[in-house]
Amino acid sequence: MADRPAVESIEQHNLALQHHFVNMEQQRNAASLGMWLFLATEIMFFGGLFCSYLIYRYWYPNEFAIASRALSLPIGTVNTAVLICSSLTVALSVRAAQVGQRKMLVILLLLTMLFGLTFLGVKGYEWHDEYERHHVPGLAFNISDLTAEYPQIHIDPVHTQLFFALYFAMTGLHALHMIIGVGLFCFITFYAWKGHYGPDYHTPLENSGLYWHFVDIVWIYLFPLLYLIDRHPLK
């Protein structure tokens, strides 16, 4: 395993190498495997919610279709675009670290956080809108504004609450992950600004990037599930 001479690794990386690793390569591989495993646990975490959503959607297709029309397609689309941009800036920031452009790295990280905060702001606006329209289950829930638009379709308004319960659970947990991600990038940006990350060592940046991409991918699934299915005019 340790085929690299130990002296070389000590000379090159003695600052970041922790005592229990043989060399930087082992340390980097361990950190990266750890992050991938953590993301696997996250898939299971969101998986429970996706599973519940799919089952209820299958049971109550009309209720879910009508309820999902309460969500604003333009806002959702814009937010998706914002998030994809943030993934791009993260990917570019890793590249900037690899080629040693410190200034570019910091700018890209700041942009990432800006996109992230934009997403959260827009999401907060959406939630507030839903609150005002009484679409939050448990808080004077009332869906009559939507059902009135489709008098020809028989639905049970009670079941539309399930859509919103899962909508808030899923987007809420996703937003929580975004907040954690932005918090993470505060530290990463600070250390990047101090010049900790360069071509030799940028594992924390890379792993935070992985986490950020994962959070994006969750949204890439949430967006069609919540916003896009059955958007065509109901008969």
Partner 1 sequence: MATATTIVAERENYLNKEFGIRSWLLTTDHKRIALLYLIWITFFFFIGGFYALLIRLELLTPAGDLVQSDTYNKLFSMHGQVMIFFFLIPSIPAVLGNFLVPMMIGAKDLAFPRINLLSWYLLVVSGILMLHAMMLGGVDTGWTFYTPFSTAFSNSHVIEAGVSIFIAGFSSILTGLNFVVTIHRMRAPGMTWGRLPLFIWAHYATSIIQLLGTPVLAVTLLLVVADRAANMGIFDATRGGDPLLFQHLFWFYSHPAVYIMILPSMGVINEVITCFSRKRVFGYAFVAFASIAIAVLGFLVWAHHMFVAGISLYSALIFSLLSYSVAVPSAIKVFNWTATMYKGSIQYNTPLLYALGFIGLFTMGGMTGLFLACLGIDVHVTDTYFVIAHFHYIMVGGAVMGYLAGIHFWWPKISGRMYPEGWGRLAALIVFIGFNLTFFPQFILGYLGMPRRYWQYPPEFQVLNVLSTAGSTILAVGYVLPMIYLLWSMRYGKIADENPWRAAGLEWTTASPPPTTNFEETPVVTWEAYNYDEIDAPQQEVKVGG
Cα 29 → chain centroid: 24
| Interacting residues with partner 1 (CB under 8 A) | 1-2, 18-22, 26, 29-30, 33-34, 37-38, 40-42, 44-49, 51-52, 55-56, 59-60, 63, 137-138, 156, 158-159, 161-162, 165-166, 168-169, 173
Shortest distance in whole angstroms from residue 131 CB to partner 1: 13
- Cβ 129 to partner 1 shortest distance, Å: 19
Q: In this complex, which beta carbon is closest to partner 1, that of residue 113 or of residue 177? A: 177
Q: Which is nearer to partner 1, 162 or 188 (CB)?
A: 162
Least separation in angstroms between residue 137's CB and partner 1 is: 5
Q: Cβ 74 to partner 1, closest distance in Å? A: 27
Give least dist CB 230 to partner 1, A: 18
Q: Would you state the structure tokens that stand for residue 168, as one six-digit string?
A: 């808030």
Q: By C-beta, is 34 or 195 nearer to partner 1?
A: 34
35 vs 12: CA distance, rounded Å? 25
Pick between residue 56 and residue 193 the one whose CB is nearest to partner 1.
56
